[in-house]
Chains A and B, each alone.
Chain A
């Protein structure tokens, strides 16, 4: 699987560290139920997912990849800084 890095172009997935679903946002208020949902609950979609990858052996940027979990097809990628998930 090749991950298209906005800086480095298509690179082998082994250069990246996977963090997971980019959708959950840290709750602004520390409230037990919201933190529980943020830390543990996931939509786990069969289809398109927006997810965080870290280009550890490249430009060392966090990127947001939009990928299909059923086919592994990648629709787009963008730098995580400045994007709102």
Chain B
């Protein structure tokens, strides 16, 4: 692997940048591996990287139906944060945040991690109490959280509609360490670093079924490019987890829903960090290219279509206009829909499946991007040691059966409300 450094850049500049090598090997499948990861998105590639880096395993493959990063890794709003309230969630997302903070050094790749702050606004006394509680829960876990009043907000983000007749802004919960990262740089950074440690990344290799041994345990995958034997198989295909799990005869507590996001034309810097509207569902940040990146609720019906409908687009834009009318003249450049694994309690699953040899990383709802490093870290831990990592111990598949739900929003078993 060519290291990226100022010296390498100078050297390549002298040869007019003709000497750069491909960032990672586009591998052909071998007959077998110790561990095969299904899904070449951020989570799958991070899992492969940490299996090689932390656990010292070398015979690892990532098989991907299309091209790496072509699924939900390319269909998100790139926000990173660890502002959760429940004990099952907060240590996990904080571990993710810590990995984000050291990611570029660990990967020797510029993932454009930018800790520009995440601000959740509140509009009522009850909501302030709720955010105070969440902020206190974060601080009890050693995570930064600050409850800001209206005067502080006016200095920080003067452009909001503070005196909105219906939803006046009273303050916000602020996590200064939150921010954004560059989604496809995360995918490529993990792919490059994993490939350098010997991981085979196999694209255009859809999994069609699972190979079983005499005991019924999974011992490999049947793919569009032939069978591949494996000691263990990990599924990391959020959005389509039900479909892949079904190949092994497993039904999951998951529905697939479409979540839309939007980007405006490029503007000069106007939005300093990530801002979320508390009275509706609207969140916005500004990309380094200048486009306003924003989104809101999922459309609310089962979908695999990777596109949504206009009522949700209208709802998102209404939220934006209620919050910051200044964006009203910005034109939307493009929008997209990503397919979300919506679990029945709004929290993910990192666990063994009911079938021996098969492991699950699924159910990321619409919060999978920020979880990428810790998801990979904990799934690698599970695959390598057969034991749950301590920060992901609550993400069990059987919690729906035993009643140990992690319902951050408290809405019950109704995926389109999470």
Contact = CB atoms under 8 A, between A and B. Distances in A.
Interface in A1-57: 1, 12-14, 18, 20-21, 36-37, 39-44, 46, 49, 51
A70 B305 contact: yes
Interface range, B side: 20 to 34
B341 to A, nearest CB: 9
B303 interface: yes
Contact of A44 (B256, B311, B400, B401): B256
A46 B300 contact: no
A26 to B, nearest CB: 13
Contacts of A1: 309
Interface stretch (B29-37, B65-73, B224-232, B246-254): B246-254
A49 B305 CA distance: 13
A49 B240 CA distance: 16
Contacts of B251: 37, 41-43
Residue from A14, A20, A44, A46 having most chain B Cβ neighbours under 10 A:
A44
Residue from B300, B302, B413 having most chain A Cβ neighbours under 10 A:
B302
Given A42-B251, A42-B252, A42-B254, A69 B305 contact: yes
A38 to B, nearest CB: 10
Contacts of B300: 18
Interface in A57-85: 67, 69-72
Contacts of A18: 300-301, 416
Given A13-B311, A40-B344, A43-B242, A20 B416 contact: yes
B302 A40 contact: no
B167 interface: no
Nearest to B416: A18
B253 A72 contact: no
Contacts of B303: 69, 72
B400 A20 contact: no
Interface string B296-312: 00001111110001010
A63 B252 CA distance: 26
A21 B251 CA distance: 14
B255 interface: yes
Interface in B22-75: none
B415 interface: yes
Contact of B304 (A40, A41, A69): A69
A68 B300 CA distance: 15
B243 interface: yes
A34 B247 CA distance: 22
Given A40-B413, A46-B240, A14 B311 contact: yes
Nearest to A35: B401
Contacts of A71: 305
A67 B414 CA distance: 19
B332 to A, nearest CB: 19
Contacts of B311: 12-14
9 contacts: A18-B416, A39-B344, A43-B251, A44-B242, A44-B255, A44-B256, A46-B240, A46-B304, A72-B305
Interface of B: 240, 242-243, 246, 251-256, 300-305, 309, 311, 344, 400-401, 413-416
Given A20-B255, A40-B413, A44-B256, 11 more contacts: A14-B311, A41-B251, A42-B242, A42-B253, A42-B255, A43-B242, A44-B255, A46-B256, A51-B301, A67-B301, A72-B303
